[in-house]
Chains A and B, each alone.
Chain A
Amino acid sequence: MSFSTLFDAPAIEPPTVDPANPDSSPRRLLTARPSVSDSVFRSVAFFAGCITVAIMLAVGVFLALRASEALGVAGFSFLVEQDWSPESQKFGIASVLFGTITIAVIAMCVAVPLALGTALLISEVAQGRMRSTLVTLVDLMAAVPSVVFGLWGVFFLQANVIPVATWISSYFGWIPLFRVADASGQALTEASAFTSSAFIAGIVVGLMVVPTQTSVMREAFSQAPIGEREAAFALGSTRWGMIRAVVLPFGRGGIIGGTMLGLGRALGETIAVYMIISPIFTINWEVLKTGTNSVSALIALRYGESSSFGLSALMAAGLVLFLITLVINFTASSIVARSRSGAESD
């Protein structure tokens, strides 16, 4: 591409003015005919946009079409049936969806305090080089592959967290959520009852989603207006007082949005969960006890052995998961966008 194209804009002919009657001069044409390079660029870019949309829509439409076969057979029972055996037409995502949500909720309990604290640390406490180092580390953490987190969870965290889980269940076992009991209601204390639980998977997934949440929250906090900050200090507030009175209210949208974006990622996380949990197909309220499941782990577990109909059932499960994360993501980004536009004050 030579530089001459910079100047090959269409020449505009000078209007011819009739000296006798100046009002009769033709109107100047202000629209320009696009140059060749422009129209080529325009159509190439449009084409790229079309391909992108086509790929994306193909995923969605294909999922929906293939899933409809299984959904048509299962009907409403797809949402309430716990078992997963498509061969006998008896399948549903109640237990896997429950497991997915349990793991995600535990992940949020781990991630949100960490992300909130780190975001405030970066935006309010740390200065200069320290701050940029911390920001880099958060970004780096987002790039660590999930299989590495899974390895860490299986080979290190599991052994070290089981004593804590045992302790929680022996002292807070009277809360049904923390109870670990066998079928007859007898409380279990041996370590093997606590391995591969939703609790451990939740901790690992929580660590994985912290960077997403931290960066959204940090951005929202750093946009809290300087005038209100200084006003709070001038009224004699401490730094924490200023954070509570100014930064947190202004950053509320960022906190909610960041939490939800992290939740979306936690729901879809596959490989770390798959490595840690031992899959079961019943609803397990005892989060510390061995055995849980998630939609993505179900897909990873069953895709190979599935018949065409079984694949369609897995598609349906994937579609439900996708719809949930889609709703969460859109809600989150609209909350973040709204808080951004409204937070400015001068």
Chain B
Amino acid sequence: MTITHAPNITHAATSTCTTNDTHTTTIPAYDGTPIGPRRRVRGARLDDRFNVLGAAAAGIAVAVLLFGWITPLSGGVGWALVAYLAFLGFYALLVSFTSDAQEVKDRVMAVLLSSAGVVLFGALVFVVAFTLIRGQEALPHLNFFIQSMELAGPLDGLDLGGIVHAILGTLMQISMALAVTIPLGITTALFLNEVGGRFARFVRTISDAMTALPSIVAGLFVYSAIIVLITHQRSGFAAAMAITVMMLPIVIRASDIVIRLVAGNLREAAYALGSTRWATIWYVVLPTARPGLATAVILGTARGIGETSPVLLTSGVTAVTNLNPFAGPMISLPLQVFDFVKSPEPTMIARGFGTAAILILLVLTLFALARLIGGTGPGQLSRRRRLRVDAASERDLQRMSVRGDLGPGITGTNSMLRPTSSPTDLTTKETSS
């Protein structure tokens, strides 16, 4: 490493000794200093890349050879497995030409780790893409989105019938579930963090335990507690209750973590300004945790929308649009998928894939939304919000200086302390400075 910034003090000292007595600090000229080429400490060398490429070619060749001649293997999965194993062997061999055993191990493990990642994400992309591609058959038909299956029989073509009843059912069920989950979940999370005590620890233990509840058991509970004992019929309301039982622990847990992450000095600053506990929560804790809370709720929603098994027992299957959540069966998207693909008819299976594609797109949208909102941590602001906060503090400064000019009698503690805009300014100034 070359030192380009020579310490100014020593430079000035030497210059005072040799030349005249001016006590000035001079910056050394950069012009004469040679700057060497920047060394890259990361990244693969050329022979590393050729090792990978060569081993891959050899592996594929061996697999082709084996499948053509020797073993009775067939099928793409087997071929890929053999090619991969051969690739690993050849790669280890190639690396061992130039390196010792430790480095061979290191390289082979790096390849193994990377391939675990590739397999996982390949599978994920493939699962999603498979559904979307198979769903293409049904998606171009407009009636798929605006009709229900009321008039469409199993033998009808794709230009008749649709899933609007399932879309509406999903929306109604998840809204009802959210109407219970959001207030209850966030208030419970606040109780765990801001009130505390022995009972709060008990609540936390119980809600942690409930994250272990298998979703089908939640459905069975609602089925036998609400449907069998009280309503005697499956309904959207019962399905929403089953989804609530599933989502509540997830939302509580995620919000609990997010609220716990709110920096303690923000709370202390609020208390030091004399605010009450509730004012601290309303004006400091909740605004700071807002992106995280939104993420928690949205991710919980994505999970809740995709749940099939609790709905399977509670909502009932229907082909007609039902907007009354308290009477009659009300189907939802995942259950509709499940119901479609049970049929052997190709058109029904195509409808099933189309429904699944819509479900996936819905979940992806929710997920992207969660990333968009929750991508920034507490205290990190987007450019626009920072500009707004800066403008607010500029106004504060002006106001304070104007009042300060009027004389000491007016600048009491009250006018100094009273914030003009929302107290997020308090929090953001604190973290951004």
Please encode chain A, from 29 to 65, with 1 for each CB lying within 8 Å of some chain B CB and 0 for all others.
0000011011011101110110111011111001100
Contact A137 B121 (CB under 8 A): yes
Contact B337 A299 (CB under 8 A): no
How many Å from the CB of B162 to the closest CB on chain A? 19
Give A277-328 interface residues, CB cut-off 8 Å to B: 295-296, 299-300, 303, 308, 311, 314-315, 318-319, 321-322, 325-326, 328
Given contacts A117-B116, A299-B220, A315-B220, contact A329 B212 (CB under 8 A): yes
A330 within 8 A of B: yes
Alpha-carbon distance between A134 and B356 when the two chains are bound, in angstroms = 24
Given contacts A207-B123, A240-B106, contact A49 B192 (CB under 8 A): yes
How many Å from the CB of A35 to the closest CB on chain B? 5
Alpha-carbon distance between A155 and B194 when the two chains are bound, in angstroms = 50
Contact B221 A143 (CB under 8 A): no
Which residues of B have CB within 8 Å of A8? 276
Contact B195 A163 (CB under 8 A): no
Given contacts A127-B42, A303-B313, contact A48 B187 (CB under 8 A): yes
Contact A322 B212 (CB under 8 A): yes
Alpha-carbon distance between A214 and B119 when the two chains are bound, in angstroms = 14
Interface residues on A, range: 35 or more
Q: Chain A: which residue is nearest B134 at the CB level?
A: A155
Interface centre among A118, A141, A145 (most CB of B within 10 A): A145
Q: Which of A117, A126, A151, A328 contacts B131 (CB 8 A)?
A: A151
Contact A141 B75 (CB under 8 A): no
Q: Chain A: which residue is nearest B366 at the CB level?
A: A143
Which residues of B have CB within 8 Å of A44? 187
Interface residues on B, range: 35 or more
B78 within 8 A of A: yes
Given contacts A121-B116, A239-B110, contact A137 B124 (CB under 8 A): yes
Alpha-carbon distance between A66 and B105 when the two chains are bound, in angstroms = 57
Q: Which of A148, A156, A314 contacts B356 (CB 8 A)?
A: A148
Which residues of A have CB within 8 Å of B245? 55, 59
A249 within 8 A of B: no
A161 within 8 A of B: yes
Which residues of A have CB within 8 Å of B399? none
A172 within 8 A of B: no
How many Å from the CB of A317 to the closest CB on chain B? 9
Q: Chain B: which residue is nearest A66 at the CB level?
A: B224
A1 within 8 A of B: yes
Given contacts A38-B276, A46-B191, contact A147 B306 (CB under 8 A): yes
Contact B308 A53 (CB under 8 A): no
Give A106-136 interface residues, CB cut-off 8 Å to B: 113-114, 116-118, 120-122, 124-127, 134, 136
Which residues of A have CB within 8 Å of B353? 151
Alpha-carbon distance between A251 and B263 when the two chains are bound, in angstroms = 27
A270 within 8 A of B: yes
A85 within 8 A of B: no
B338 within 8 A of A: yes
Contact B360 A144 (CB under 8 A): yes
How many Å from the CB of A144 to the closest CB on chain B? 7
Please encode chain A, from 57 to 88, with 1 for each CB lying within 8 Å of some chain B CB and 0 for all others.
11100110010000000000000000000000
Q: Which of A6, A148, A295 contacts B279 (CB 8 A)?
A: A6
Given contacts A6-B276, A144-B360, A311-B224, contact A268 B214 (CB under 8 A): yes
Please encode chain B, from 94 to 136, with 1 for each CB lying within 8 Å of some chain A CB and 0 for all others.
0000000011011001101111110111011011101100100
Interface centre among B113, B134, B283, B371 (most CB of A within 10 A): B113
Contact B309 A296 (CB under 8 A): yes
A17 within 8 A of B: no
Contact B121 A152 (CB under 8 A): no
Which residues of B have CB within 8 Å of A160? 75-77
Q: Chain B: which residue is nearest A322 at the CB level?
A: B217
Given contacts A143-B299, A151-B131, A318-B217, contact A238 B228 (CB under 8 A): no
How many Å from the CB of A189 to the closest CB on chain B? 11
Q: Which of B131, B207, B338 contacts A56 (CB 8 A)?
A: B207
Contact B77 A53 (CB under 8 A): no
Alpha-carbon distance between A46 and B207 when the two chains are bound, in angstroms = 15
Given contacts A6-B274, A154-B341, A164-B78, contact A144 B127 (CB under 8 A): yes
A210 within 8 A of B: yes
Q: Chain A: which residue is nearest B192 at the CB level?
A: A49
Contact A144 B128 (CB under 8 A): yes
Q: Which of B78, B113, B130, B224 contacts A121 (CB 8 A)?
A: B113
Contact B102 A241 (CB under 8 A): yes
Give A1-20 interface residues, CB cut-off 8 Å to B: 1, 3, 5-9
Given contacts A144-B306, A239-B106, A314-B220, contact A152 B130 (CB under 8 A): yes
Which residues of B have CB within 8 Å of A138? 120
B235 within 8 A of A: no
Alpha-carbon distance between A163 and B217 when the two chains are bound, in angstroms = 35
How many Å from the CB of B317 to the closest CB on chain A? 11
Contact A45 B187 (CB under 8 A): yes
Contact B371 A45 (CB under 8 A): no
Alpha-carbon distance between A65 and B192 when the two chains are bound, in angstroms = 29
Interface centre among A58, A136, A140 (most CB of B within 10 A): A140
Q: Which of A37, A329, A330 contacts B278 (CB 8 A)?
A: A37
Contact A35 B276 (CB under 8 A): yes
Which residues of A have CB within 8 Å of B228? 308, 311
Contact A299 B216 (CB under 8 A): yes
How many Å from the CB of A43 to the closest CB on chain B? 10
Which residues of B have CB within 8 Å of A146? 306-309
B27 within 8 A of A: no
Q: Which of B78, B303, B313, B349 contacts A163 (CB 8 A)?
A: B78
Alpha-carbon distance between A108 and B117 when the two chains are bound, in angstroms = 17
Contact B220 A210 (CB under 8 A): no
Given contacts A152-B131, A300-B216, A314-B220, contact A118 B276 (CB under 8 A): no
Contact B359 A267 (CB under 8 A): no
Q: Which of B191, B275, B360 contacts A48 (CB 8 A)?
A: B191
Alpha-carbon distance between A270 and B327 when the two chains are bound, in angstroms = 27
Given contacts A56-B207, A137-B121, contact A163 B306 (CB under 8 A): no
Please encode chain B, from 183 to 219, with 1 for each CB lying within 8 Å of some chain A CB and 0 for all others.
1110110111011000110110011111111111111
Alpha-carbon distance between A34 and B363 when the two chains are bound, in angstroms = 44
Q: What 3 A-B pairs have minimum CB-CB distances, sorted nearest first?
A: A117-B116, A145-B306, A268-B214
A41-B277, A322-B217 provided; 7 other pairs, C-beta below 8 A? Answer: A59-B217, A121-B113, A145-B360, A160-B75, A164-B77, A299-B313, A325-B213
20 A-B pairs within 8 Å (CB atoms) are namely A1-B282, A5-B276, A6-B283, A48-B190, A49-B199, A63-B217, A121-B116, A126-B117, A134-B121, A143-B366, A144-B127, A144-B306, A145-B360, A150-B338, A151-B131, A167-B78, A238-B105, A270-B215, A270-B312, A318-B216
